[in-house]
Amino acid sequence: MHIQISEHIKLAPLVESDAADILKAVNVSRASLGKFLPWVEGVNNIESAKKYILERVNSGLNGSQWFKIYYKDNLSGVFAIKYICPDLNIAELGYWLSCDAQGNGIISQVITKAPQLLTSTHVKFIEFRCLEKNAASIKVALKSGALLVDVIPNFLVADDVWQNLNIYRAAVK
């Protein structure tokens, strides 16, 4: 199953056999991704890339769906509905892109199609969780119409400094 987002962007389910391509994308972008994503350091060989994939696709979290992002036919990142909270009708989204694909509006385009992935749910809101210094992810959240709804102080050390976790929320369109 592929989901065509635009002429050059498509999603496909993330599977264990994507490990080599995931490792390649992480290696190309290790320095930039590692500033905000604590898992990056641990993805450093094929086995750890397989573990990264399997932990996500087999998370058992309600409504979880994980996709690889293809940009111009290259695996360029990951997009996920990480979890759906049925009590609050909120879907938490997650994503990352390799640095060679960044700056092309890819994630914003994928998010405009996210409601298609949620049609069989009662989700009314999408949620983004971004470290306070992750300007690119915050920009994506704001561009999607999300508003800052909560802050978890001193969430983790990233880029050598304690950072708050900002929580943004937008209505599903």
Tens digit of each residue's pLDDT (9 = 90 or more) over 73-107: 999 999 999 999 999 999 999 999 999 999 999 99
pLDDT value at 173 more than 90: no
Tens digit of each residue's pLDDT (9 = 90 or more) over 113-166: 888 888 778 899 999 999 999 999 999 999 999 999 999 999 999 888 999 999
Indicate which CATH number applies to the domain containing 132.
3.40.630.30
Q: 114: number of CA atoms within 13 Å, CB side?
A: 33
What percent of the chain is modeled with pLDDT above 70? 100
CA–CA dist 138, 17 (Å, integer): 31
pLDDT value at 1 more than 80: no
Range of 151's domain? 3-171
User: In which element (H, E) is residue 139 found?
Assistant: helix 135-143
Among 53, 122, 60, 46, residue whose Cα is nearest residue 90: 122
- Average pLDDT over the chain, rounded to an integer: 94
Which pLDDT value is given to residue 114?
81
Q: Is residue 97 classed exposed, middle or buried when 0-12, 13-18 and 19+ CB atoms within 10 A define those classes?
A: buried
Tens digit of each residue's pLDDT (9 = 90 or more) over 48-71: 999 999 999 999 999 999 999 999
pLDDT value at 28 more than 90: yes
Per DSSP, the three-state class of 153 is: strand
Which pLDDT value is given to residue 116?
81
Which pLDDT value is given to residue 128?
97
Number of domains in the chain: 1
Which pLDDT value is given to residue 14?
98
